[in-house]
Structure 1
């Protein structure tokens, strides 16, 4: 997403945009949440805002649109669970008053649609039931079989080379294959759809083309499943008794693609980086003292796939964390900031084993319904990768790895590794058909105890 001119607007402009008096009066001193400096060091910005404002801070978005950023862990949960905050952007004074520019980059991510993520009340309950029950129809054993199939295929593609980019060659491709299969998208289209979603998230020149490909893909999928239903999410959504329209099904399939691919790819990439570079985990994992789920949970605390969720609006004047928020104000959930709140993490370097109280999947009525599926893809895929290529080491210094993105989502651009090439097994020769005497099968040897140095040992 391109950042527009960052010139500070006068206080009158903030007031005209509908900001509350406190927000307008502080306009000249309010920090922007976008731009090179803010996006390069977001955690430093969070701490500056926390020191200046407490757990709720005024910020500026593109074209000086005012908003509140929730920094505290408890305060984020309060907003997520309160009926005084809506996910319907029609409550936003900038929409009601027509002061949000027609070409604002905020429109694509805040424009109201009849989606489970952007509705409240009975309509939200109807759509959420359809989505959650359709997701519940996923066969978990079969899902892990497909994850394994695709992970092994991807690993085999590069294991003979002795090198790989674990972001491009694995972290982005594995979710694309698995999610496409679960939705009903043909395997041949999985990688192109995954790349299109990535283009959409990046907000660059290819964003519109990426969105168009996704729209066409889900349109064709819905038409296909109306004629020939299958065991997939598209078919289950079409057949759900809540009676979703074809357009609602298409929009939710698009939402699931965007909501599943980017966060899962980021979770895989960030976990692999941590395992490869962080001595706290490398030593513990190889020694059997930490499980892979522990490592995934640590990443969800330290590097949530989505850092900020900009889809809450106050429905009344209300106080949060000692700060007055006006009716119609935009309120942004600071997931990353809340996860490092010193109130709950006084020692930021201390591991948080077994603690799932992070904010990465949200809470309340809009908690992510597919979080267990994302964890399954990441855990199974990483487990197989580290088992089959246990000697992988980073090819460049950790501080040379690059992370790019916006205030809402950040991604690791690459993760180059080197390892001993694995020789691909040659196809077995066809033996001549010679009659043999029947031989009694030998008893299977007892399984050897798990080697505590192996990756399989710590996947418990």
Structure 2
């Protein structure tokens, strides 16, 4: 039964004032909030830091198996959140138990073997190419012309794609994210490209992520690996692009980071970490499903109920945020990469950090007098409760020649 005080998980406040909205939810409902998804589908949003730690740390009670959901009979074809929640999808997101651990090990080992110096070189090269395309103009949108183009180019190179395939993969992935009429075409292009790369590497292995995944002896099919590569690409691209955009916004609007705009670099890492605490790209995640009746944060959770992971809400939980400066000053105990066995693999976190930091540093190196081209309050966010990022970041700078 849906509580009468359930909160619709949508609306402009997720775009304009999410921090205040999460505070009000916590004040009015506690650490576990009854919410309504599209079509008035009920779920629980876990905002408490300790409660979220409990949910993500107990995969037996709170499973990743979406087949457990007690609402499937109420979900219509074409429901807008199906791509996010999924049903009977053969990817790592929805496998559980020993098979999930094998799958996570395959991905983690393949990513861990990435040469960090090679990763940095690729990120610098692609970042420089993108800056070359805009540096002579004196103005740019660092979201559309930079942040949304960089991460997938680097990831594609690490996976084993030739550089000439990169622009097509960028277009396909951004079409999928856009979620409109081009989304299916983008998904088809990405899946076909992954399948072709896997077939190529079956016949001719190389020193890349895909070849290492294929070399794993756990018996995964090509279709399973294709699905995992698509998940890895989507999960690695958009949040990293938003991490770049949100960090640049912070550095361009907050006087504490002004020194970094004039040759300093120490504050880049501080700005990036503060974003993960205060403005994390992945705000909420679906989800976990209760395997039996239980209680969480004083709420009666029934078997098959969906729990949404309120990552940003937990990061700002006043029960643990006694001193904001202490927590943001290098502390990485945030939930921005998840927690538990279904969290983002540590090698993937490291790759995302290198891409984001390199992307930010190249902007500051190449465009040293960069400044916002609009008032800070005019910067618009994506109207989503799930992923938080800027729609545009207009900047101006003194034109410089391409390298």
Shared fold, TM over 0.5:
yes
Residues 38 and 136 of structure 1: CA distance in aligned 2, closer, same or farther (over 3 Å): closer
Counterparts in 2 of 1:278-297, with a 5 A limit?
Answer: 278-283=254-259, 290-297=266-273
| 1:397 CA displacement | 0.6
Q: Please, what TM-score do these two structures have when normalized by structure 1?
A: 0.82
Instruction: Tell me, yes or no, if structure 1 residue 392 matches structure 2 residue 367.
Output: no
Change (3 A) 1:285 1:64: same
**8 Å Cα contact 2:57-2:341 kept in structure 1:** yes
CA positional deviation for 1:114: 2.8
Q: Which residue does 1:305 correspond to in 2?
A: 281
The match for 2:88 is: 112
**Alignment length, in residue pairs?**
399
**Partner SS, residue 331 of structure 1:** strand
Return 295-304 or 146-155, whichever deviates more: 146-155
d(CA) in 2 for partners of 1:284, 1:176: 26
Is 1:65 paired with 2:41? yes
Displacement of 1:291: 3.0
State the secondary structure of the residue aligned to 2:334: coil
Q: How does 1:62-141 map to 2 (within 5 A)?
A: 62-83=38-59, 84-95=61-72, 98-110=73-85, 111-141=87-117
Give the aligned CA root-mean-square deviation in angstroms: 2.0
Residue in 1 aligned with 2:224? Answer: 248
**Is 1:209 aligned to 2:185, yes or no?**
yes
Query: Could you say what secondary structure the match of 1:357 adopts?
Result: coil
Structure 1: 5+ residue runs without aligned partners? Answer: 1-14, 16-23, 426-460
Query: 1:355/1:348 Cα in 2 relative to 1: closer, same or farther (>3 Å)?
Result: closer
Deviations along 1:234-280, one digit per CA (max 9) or x if unpaired, are: 11111111221111111111111111110110001111111111122
Q: Deviations over 1:7-34 (max 9, x none)?
A: xxxxxxxx4xxxxxxxx2x23x311002
Secondary structure of 2:247's counterpart equals: helix
1:175 matched to 2:120? The reply is: no
**Residues 202-227 of structure 1, C-alpha deviations (whole Å, 9 max, x = no match):** 32222222211111111221122222
Higher-RCO chain (CA-CA 8 Å, sequence separation at least 6) = 2
Q: Distance in 2 between matches of 1:330 and 1:387?
A: 46
Does the 8 A contact of 2:65 with 2:95 survive in 1?
yes
Over alpha carbons, which structure has the higher Rg?
1
| Pairs within 5 Å for 1:312-391 | 312-346=288-322, 352-369=328-345, 370-391=348-369
Segments of structure 2 that go 5 or more residues without pairing to the other structure are none
**Alpha-carbon deviation of 1:347?**
5.4
Deviation at 1:393, TM superposition (A): 0.6
Q: CA contact under 8 A between 1:126 and 1:242: conserved in structure 2?
A: yes
8 Å Cα contact 2:12/2:383 also seen in 1: no
Range moving further from structure 2, 353-362 or 275-284: 275-284
* Aligned match of 1:223: 199
Query: Is 2:136 the counterpart of 1:160?
Result: yes
SS state at 1:311 partner: strand
CA contact (8 A) 2:262 2:368 kept: no
